[in-house]
Chain A
């Protein structure tokens, strides 16, 4: 069932990291990471547990500030002080387990933290535009074949695949530049994994770049154009993601080949 991989990567650089480092006390979580991401490109971020993937994701989503180095989005150097800053820069992150609010409906999850609301002068007391939320969510969900018909259903009652579909769709709704996916199919069955993978595949064609964190090597080579391997906070390799390179990637992850700072 070999499906030809179609790359939507363009020449436009949408994200550039230069020498990004992060220290937690004496621990070096990330050491001088360079990274370039093009528009429409899918980049796999690989590495063992503790390699620094999560720290890098947290920096890119505004939860950590880097101790050194620069981040540029579409050529403009930026600093993310808060999660809102990353989102304002068009970067959305889908977290493995913290993505959704079980007690809220699909529509409320879609717009959580940026609900459309009534008169601006009423501030946080302004009424929320539930109708608009439901309408826009229903429209988006009907495009995805995940069988969610009712945007007013609490997310806590949905299957893992439906939940992940909502999380990715929510990111897509708001991401202008990049979606970061942290282990998007880790907790899913085979068929649900399939449907979420299809949703991910549809992103690059819309001009969205994807950073994919995964332990699933087959998924990385199927979805990604390029793979970056981290080990102990260092970038130890950067290769074209293809099934032929799988062996090389695995050895870089476990440290059998590849020297620190090799690009």
Chain B
């Protein structure tokens, strides 16, 4: 590697000891081991998924039957959709506990408005999504603009208030009937080259791709990672941190609305309890899939893998003769494993950093 003219003009000759870090030792075996370890750790969630599939396949061969795999995929879509919103929030060091309640509210409120105004199907669809967006906006304004509390407390408040509101509207009983568009998106099918694909899967693939495009390729996506990695640095870099943080909570609400569409279509009605427990399941999915709860890291693949693991465990336990209470225990164990992996990852990364610094100092 040649020295460039810029350094050659320097008053200090480039041969000064220690000036050129390239002259230091080559990559050692320890470094290579660390690199390999990092790669394996990053692959951890995929290995967990494969292990889970293998175990359930051995316990009950039905698990891997085409019919059950399609079921598994359809069951995964709501967690995936809401989980994508949760991912955006978690990357920015936030948390959204209100998503489950918002799913229920969007379903119920959308149903009432659809009935009241005899809306056409597409409008009913938009109303459900808008209901989700509305509560996302409320979260965003209270957290970012009013600056009174952290996301945990504010979205916990929304979780209770919105959940109560939906139950008040339905008096606790599910509503029956759905508009044609929502019905189609929740339980319809589409033919792709002679293959009947359930619409929830189609919706999930399109939405996941869109979120991925925005997150990886747009300026806004870069800013989300910047805000999550170094909030103070993001302010100093001139990134509109407040607007970025607001946008992720609004999008989380929108995605909860989309999940409400799929779920309402599947039950052909509306139910205040549709999203019950989703807030914790989606957080679990993000973390189990390999996203970091401390912010700055996470991809759509983390959510896809995490959602498949979480829903797969439920599906597999249902197929095995085990007590259904095992579900919580297994998910808990996998969650702790995932957090352990995240800790191991950051430990290994700092080991890489230390090793590089030692090499640079010629030690």
Residue positions of A touching B, CB distance < 8 A: 3-4, 6, 61, 63, 82-84, 87, 93, 95, 98-104, 108, 112-115, 117, 122, 124-128, 130, 142-143, 145-147, 156-162, 189-192, 194-195, 198, 201-202, 205
- The contact string, 1 if C-beta is below 8 Å from chain A, for chain B 337-363, is 000000000000100110011011110
User: With a CB–CB cut-off of 8 A, which chain A residues contact B235?
Assistant: 63, 83
User: With a CB–CB cut-off of 8 A, which chain A residues contact B19?
Assistant: 145, 194-195, 198
Q: Are A98 and B230 in contact (CB under 8 A)?
A: yes
Q: Are A112 and B239 in contact (CB under 8 A)?
A: yes
| A160 to B350 CA separation, bound complex (whole angstroms) | 11
Q: Are A104 and B361 in contact (CB under 8 A)?
A: no
Residue among B7, B238, B353 making CB contact with A82, cutoff 8 Å: B238
Q: Are B18 and A191 in contact (CB under 8 A)?
A: yes
Q: Are B232 and A98 in contact (CB under 8 A)?
A: yes
Q: Are B21 and A126 in contact (CB under 8 A)?
A: no
Q: Are B238 and A113 in contact (CB under 8 A)?
A: yes
Q: Are B353 and A201 in contact (CB under 8 A)?
A: no
- State whether the Cβ of B301 lies closer than 8 Å to any Cβ in chain A: no
* 5 A-B pairs whose Cβ atoms sit less than 8 Å apart in the complex: A112-B234, A113-B239, A156-B349, A162-B356, A189-B361
- The contact string, 1 if C-beta is below 8 Å from chain A, for chain B 217-246, is 111111101101110111111110000000
A143-B349 in contact given A83-B237, A115-B222, A159-B356 (Cβ < 8 Å): no
| A128 to B225 CA separation, bound complex (whole angstroms) | 14
- State whether the Cβ of B147 lies closer than 8 Å to any Cβ in chain A: no
User: With a CB–CB cut-off of 8 A, which chain A residues contact B3?
Assistant: 145
- Residue among A4, A157, A190, A201 with the highest chain B CB neighbour number at 10 A: A157
Q: Are B24 and A147 in contact (CB under 8 A)?
A: yes
Residue of A nearest to B9 (CB): A205
| A151 to B21 CA separation, bound complex (whole angstroms) | 17
User: With a CB–CB cut-off of 8 A, which chain A residues contact B361?
Assistant: 189-192
Q: Are B356 and A146 in contact (CB under 8 A)?
A: no
| A113 to B237 CA separation, bound complex (whole angstroms) | 5
With an 8 Å Cβ cutoff, the count of chain B residues facing the other chain is: 50
Secondary structure at the B interface, as helix, strand, loop or mixed, is helix
User: With a CB–CB cut-off of 8 A, which chain A residues contact B233?
Assistant: 95, 98-101, 112
Apart from A108-B225, A127-B217, what are 12 other A-B pairs with CB-CB below 8 Å?
A103-B229, A130-B217, A145-B7, A159-B360, A161-B21, A162-B21, A189-B357, A191-B360, A194-B19, A198-B7, A198-B12, A201-B11
A103-B18 in contact given A142-B4, A158-B356, A192-B361 (Cβ < 8 Å): no
Residue positions of B touching A, CB distance < 8 A: 1, 3-4, 6-7, 9-12, 14, 16-22, 24, 214, 217-223, 225-226, 228-230, 232-239, 296-297, 349, 352-353, 356-357, 359-362
Residue among A99, A113, A143, A189 making CB contact with B6, cutoff 8 Å: A143
Q: Are A192 and B360 in contact (CB under 8 A)?
A: yes
Residue among B6, B18, B236, B353 making CB contact with A83, cutoff 8 Å: B236
A191-B21 in contact given A103-B297, A104-B225 (Cβ < 8 Å): yes
Residue of B nearest to A198 (CB): B19
A195-B21 in contact given A125-B220, A201-B11, A205-B9 (Cβ < 8 Å): yes
User: With a CB–CB cut-off of 8 A, which chain A residues contact B353?
Assistant: 156-160
Q: Are A145 and B14 in contact (CB under 8 A)?
A: yes
Tell me how far the C-beta of B323 lies from the nearest C-beta in chain A, rounded to whole angstroms: 41
User: With a CB–CB cut-off of 8 A, which chain A residues contact B11?
Assistant: 3-4, 6, 201
User: With a CB–CB cut-off of 8 A, which chain A residues contact B236?
Assistant: 61, 63, 83, 93, 95, 98
Tell me how far the C-beta of B76 lies from the nearest C-beta in chain A, rounded to whole angstroms: 27
Residue among A101, A122, A189 making CB contact with B360, cutoff 8 Å: A189
User: With a CB–CB cut-off of 8 A, which chain B residues contact A128?
Assistant: 217-219, 221-222
- Residue among A113, A114, A192 with the highest chain B CB neighbour number at 10 A: A113
- Residue among B11, B220, B239, B349 with the highest chain A CB neighbour number at 10 A: B11
A84-B238 in contact given A162-B360, A195-B21 (Cβ < 8 Å): yes
| A222 to B7 CA separation, bound complex (whole angstroms) | 18
Closest 3 CB pairs of A and B: A113-B237, A191-B18, A103-B229
User: With a CB–CB cut-off of 8 A, which chain A residues contact B220?
Assistant: 124-125
User: With a CB–CB cut-off of 8 A, which chain A residues contact B22?
Assistant: 145, 147
| A183 to B220 CA separation, bound complex (whole angstroms) | 31
| A161 to B24 CA separation, bound complex (whole angstroms) | 13
